[in-house]
Structure 1
Amino acid sequence: MVYRGKPSPSCAVCTGYRDQSDFGFQDQSEEVVRNYHQSAKKKGKEKEKEKRSITSSPILPSTTTGTLVTPASSPPSAGSPPRSLATSVQDIARGYLYTNYMTGGPRTRYMAYLVPLMEDRQNRALDAAVTAVALAALSNIHASPRTMLKAHVEYSTALSATNQALRDPNICKRDDVLAAVVMLGIFEIVSCTDTSFIDRWMNHLDGAAKLLEARGPEQLSRPEGLDMFTQLRAQITLSEIYQQRHSAPILAQLTEQVHCYRDAKDHILDQLGSIVIKLANFCANVKEGRFEKPVEIIRTALSIDAAFVSLLIIAPSAWSYTIAKVPTAHSATLAPHIWGPTYHIYKSIAASSMWNNYRCARILIQELILDTLDGISASTERDIAFPQRHTLELQCRQTALQLVEDICASVPFSLGSEMEMEIASNKSADSAAANSPACAGVAISGSGGLTLMWPLLVAANSGVAPKDLRNWIAGSLNKIGHSMGINQALAMSKLLQDQMKTRAWLS
């Protein structure tokens, strides 16, 4: 873990840390939300007053959908909010994180590995890190500065405990310590306040890579260790490609060894990971000038691109997706949620994330080929060395644009919008079906937003995305930021609105 400076000034307002047992991890989300929304309805007139006095309220009553799922059954009548609601913001926040990131349906199990790790009440660093992320997200959703102060106090506790654990050569290899490092990184994503998030993101990934190396192949033998390795490998290699830096050798070694621990149906994850590592090393070699001729760069790039395509021509059923059409009658209403006439339906957030990692890698390959072609100055050289140069340019642009549109087609699934489309369609065809429990409400999963931000940014900065598509992506990032409480998405949206190219920062 990289030290990022002294703790927030908010730590000064803290009167001391509570006993960590007070923050027991419990799934109380349905009970809390039932009382929470009933109270909000009873106190409609007080709502605006509470908004005006935001700084004195730990959390605002709100009817915002897409964060906490309202139960389908009618809530029981209630008077004033229970005393525990005013004093247990941590429990509300942790319940939100639990239901939106760890358990539930295909959109919300992205960090399911946290559940067994949280059962050990002695994992102090992880406990505080989870609470910090949960409070920060809820603070952003409800615009509550006081809740954010609580989040920073928990973050300071988690950072101190994590640094202490990392100094022990044995404790640092535990799954809960790596999970705490991951959650500290997510805290910075959630609480992001400026556009320097790229540097912080890369620094955290550098620290995570060192931990993966220290943990060795033994980490792959446990489900929690295997899941964290898979997710971190994808992020680390993307960071290395962005920096045109050679991939850490340990990633390739662990990727070769992981097939012994992975189900056969999931081997595609490691096959894809191997190709992405090869791409990272290729980009580093290009930066270091290890190719004598541009044609060598292009041939190697096309070879790697072909390896990507051949791998996913026929994906295993668990990792495949279907293409659905937008209901024509509702296309105008649903326009903010979808780009184009079709969208994708995946079987899990993990599947959509895998495909978007694949698309990001291929987009970067097309960019590299186009940059290489543009780098050949003399027209005679272009004609002699590349008689089919224009054909290749057109092919790369078309491929990149299709990959960009495919990333955008994954947005409805990740944000739950395709459920809204199904509901709208059902209402037109059969009002009774629309009132079924399956259509009772739509929850926007934090997991979907967390995995979607970087693919959207890569797509928008691809060089082939037209202005209206970039604006649509900026709107999607804003939706992620406001609905899910992930501030980094808002920072990314601002970069796009300011016409800034993130990859240019790295060179």
Structure 2
Amino acid sequence: MTFPSRGCRPCKQRRVKVRLKKTTDLSTATKNSANTSSGTATADMVLFKAQKIFTQPSLDASLEDQALTYYTRCYVEGPQDVLEIMDGHTKVVPTSQCYSDPSSVLSLAISAVAHATFARAQRSQFSLAKGYQSYSKALCKTNLALKDPNESKLDDVLLAAMLLSFYENSVVGTTPEPSKRGIGKIASRSFAHHDGAMAMLNLRRQQPRRQENSVELDKLVRRQLVRSLLLRSMPVPPWLRDGAKYGEIGSSLELDRCMVETARLKHRFNTALVESFMPGMAFSKEHFRKCRSLLTEGQALEASLASWADRMSSESCYSTLSVKGEDHFGVGSKLFRGTVHIYPTAGHAGMWNRYRALRLISNDIIARLCTPLIHDAHPTAASIQLDATLQLQSLADDLSLSIPYMLGLVEVGAKQDTTVLKKVPSSLKIAVKASTASFLAWPLAMATMVVGLPNQHRLYLKDRLLDVSDIADDGVLEKIAAGFAPT
């Protein structure tokens, strides 16, 4: 009687003789030869040692089926009645294509991200290895497509690039110590895919005739790319700035324009003045001139954002209710205070929190610009700085009070109720889907960049960012949260 090889499937295919360690699910040879797309293993790639939570798939449900089912339910099937402004490219991911055309570039990308998220959630080395195989094949096919002037403009190739970006986020490992690197380095591999998608988008917009589905995909991808640029403190390229050319209309277009202007202001501040704010640096007349110029731009942006909020209809606004039966709030609690913001839908909450993230950035820049202008005897700098500081406090309050609702931590009763009940779910992954929790990812990541954020908010938002990273299977968010310490 012969016994099957104990090596994992990749080693069997490569005909590598291995010994299987009891504490891991993958052969030692496979892990030793783990490669990234650049050809070398990285310390950031996650390995789940001695955590065999996931067991071998049953006979009636393959690992591929389980991963695709998990990804579809958690990421593709979003919350009901989502506002159009909150739509993203994941809503058009055709997971069924993985069965009808499993070797296509899009199917391989879907398989890669499905296995990566499933592996992180279940601590499955089997799924991690399968995801890496699909990722490698998808990456090769994407690179080949980019060399072809026609294939580089296909919807499937653009969508595959965006999915591979999230694959990179999911396979980023964790370390016990806070990361000393900025988000640009932590998420460099993910951002590289965004840059590739941006180049594809530039080619696609030059096509004379476009199908409706392609135009819609461009709009959804552009939204993610603009948020990516803001995270990196980069300006939006001229050809990408006008959201109207990509289908944005109404209040979505107005907020989009504010987002583009915030990216421009943030980039100008970081490149022109941030070094001047180091302790002991002397300010020249040119620095004072730049500060006054940027302050004017920041105040104009702040006025535009406030005006956008004032024009929101009452149906889109939120209410503030007291939490019944809870007396522990703040650090160590899922609730920030004894009140929470309640919204018509999770989409409304996501929209308001993205708006708050923009205002947190603009007010933080305004407050920092006023510091040197006060020394320059600017007549109103002190009062402007005080207003910006108070606005930061208020915006941080609103962001913090919105999180319990978005994470399913409160139970809302009838409309006439003035209180809500606290919920204690056994797991946040059960209480809320990743597609809903992801609405918090970008606002919380942006909040980490706000220098003037009060420490009580900083500690609370750090813990909630860790919660979101767990729900969304996102290693990049986890590393950002690890470095999000009090100032």
Task: Find the counterpart in structure 2 of residue 95 from structure 1.
Answer: 69
Contact residue 25 and residue 52 of structure 2 kept, 8 A = no
C-alpha distance in structure 2 between counterparts of 1:312 and 1:158, whole Å: 42
* Cα separation, 2, equivalents of 1:220 and 1:229: 14
Please say if 1:112 is aligned against 2:109. no
Per the alignment, residue 66 of structure 1 pairs with none
Deviations 1:157-192 (A, max 9, x none): 211121122222112212211111111000111111
CA contact (8 A) 1:470 1:496 kept: yes
- Residue 68 (structure 1) aligns with: none
**1:341–1:449 distance in 2 versus 1, CA, 3 Å:** same
Q: Is the 8 A contact 2:71 2:114 kept in 1?
A: yes
Q: Which of residues 461, 465, 470 is equivalent to 2:458?
A: 470
Partner Cα distance (1:83, 1:239) in 2: 41
1:213 aligns with 2:202: yes
State the aligned residue count: 411
Give the unaligned 5+ runs of structure 2. 1-7, 15-21, 27-49, 180-184, 274-285, 424-428
> Bigger shift: 348-357 or 450-459?
348-357
C-alpha distance in structure 2 between counterparts of 1:164 and 1:136, whole Å: 23
- Give distance in 2, aligned partners of 1:241 and 1:81: 41
2:112–2:132 CA contact under 8 A, matched in 1:
yes
2 CA distance for matches of 1:481 and 1:329? 28
Q: Give the match for residue 399 of structure 2.
A: 407
Query: What residue in structure 2 maps to residue 84 of structure 1?
Result: 60
* TM-score normalised by the chain length of structure 2: 0.72
Three-state SS of the structure 2 residue aligned to 1:344 is strand
| Shift in Å, 1:216 | 0.6
Structure 1 segment 77-476 matched on structure 2, within 5 A: 82-85=58-61, 88-103=62-77, 105-106=79-80, 111-115=90-94, 118=97, 121=101, 124-193=104-173, 195=179, 196-216=185-205, 224-226=213-215, 228-253=217-242, 255-259=243-247, 267-286=250-269, 287-288=271-272, 292-316=289-313, 320-330=316-326, 332=328, 336-376=333-373, 379=375, 381-382=376-377, 385=378, 387-419=379-411, 442-476=430-464
Which residue of structure 1 aligns with residue 13 of structure 2?
15
- Structure 1 distance, partners of 2:300, 2:143, is 43
1:392-424 deviation line (CA, Å, top 9, x unaligned):
1111011122222222233234322234x669x
Q: Secondary structure at the match of 2:410?
A: helix
For the residues of structure 1 that align with 2:203 and 2:96, how far apart are their CA atoms? Answer: 20
Matched, 1:55 2:29: no
Higher relative contact order (CA 8 A, sep 6+): 1
Secondary structure of the residue aligned to 2:25 is helix
Q: Does the CA contact (< 8 Å) of 2:105 and 2:142 recur in 1? A: yes
Q: Distance in 1 between matches of 2:474 and 2:53?
A: 18
Is the 8 Å Cα contact of residues 321 and 346 (structure 1) preserved in structure 2?
yes
Which residue type is aligned with residue 114 of structure 1?
Answer: V
CA-CA distance at 1:343 after TM superposition = 2.9
Structure 1 residues 225 and 94: alpha-carbon distance in aligned structure 2, compared to 1, 3 A threshold: same
The structural deviation recorded for 1:365 is 1.2
Distance in 1 (CA, whole Å) between partners of 2:391 and 2:435 is: 28
Q: Distance in 2 between matches of 1:465 and 1:182?
A: 31
Letter in 1 for 2:325: A
> Would you say the 8 A contact 1:416–1:443 is kept in 2?
yes
Secondary structure of the structure 2 residue equivalent to 1:404 = helix
117 and 150 in structure 1: CA distance in 2 versus 1, 3 angstrom threshold: closer
**How many Å apart are 1:147 and its aligned residue?**
2.2
Q: Distance in 1 between matches of 2:292 and 2:392?
A: 20
Paired residues of 1:416 and 1:445 also in contact (CA < 8 A): no
How far did 1:133 drift? 1.3
SS at match of 2:337: coil
Shift of 1:347: 4.8
Change (3 A) 1:106 1:136: same
CA separation of 1:344 and 1:217: change in aligned 2, threshold 3 A: farther
The one-letter amino acid of 2:440's match is: L
**SS in structure 2 of the partner of residue 83 of structure 1:** coil
Q: Which amino acid aligns with 2:393?
A: L
Query: Distance in 2 between the 1:98 and 1:354 partners?
Result: 23
The amino acid across from 2:157 in the alignment is: V
Instruction: Report Cα offsets for 1:454-505 as digits up to 9, x if no partner.
Output: 31132244233333322222221222233442222221221114x58xxxxx
RMSD (Å), alpha carbons: 3.8
Q: Does the aligned pair in 1 maintain the 2:407–2:437 contact within 8 Å?
A: yes
**Deviation larger for 296-305 or 102-111:** 102-111
SS at match of 2:453: coil
Contact 1:107-1:448 within 8 A present in 2 as well: no
* Stretch moving more, 192-201 or 207-216: 192-201
Q: Report the more deviating stretch, 120-129 or 179-188.
A: 120-129
Alpha-carbon displacement from aligned partner over 1:438-461 (angstroms, at most 9, x marks no partner) = xxx954211233332231132244
Shift of the 442–314 alpha-carbon distance from structure 1 to 2, 3 Å rule, reads farther
- Aligned in 2, Cα 1:136/1:242: closer, same or farther, shift over 3 Å? closer
Q: Distance in 1 between matches of 2:217 and 2:313?
A: 22
Gaps of 5+ in 1: 1-9, 17-51, 63-79, 435-440, 501-507
Higher helix share: 1
In 1, the alpha carbon distance for the partners of 2:266 and 2:9 equals: 43
Give the stretch that moved more between structures: 234-243 or 123-132: 234-243
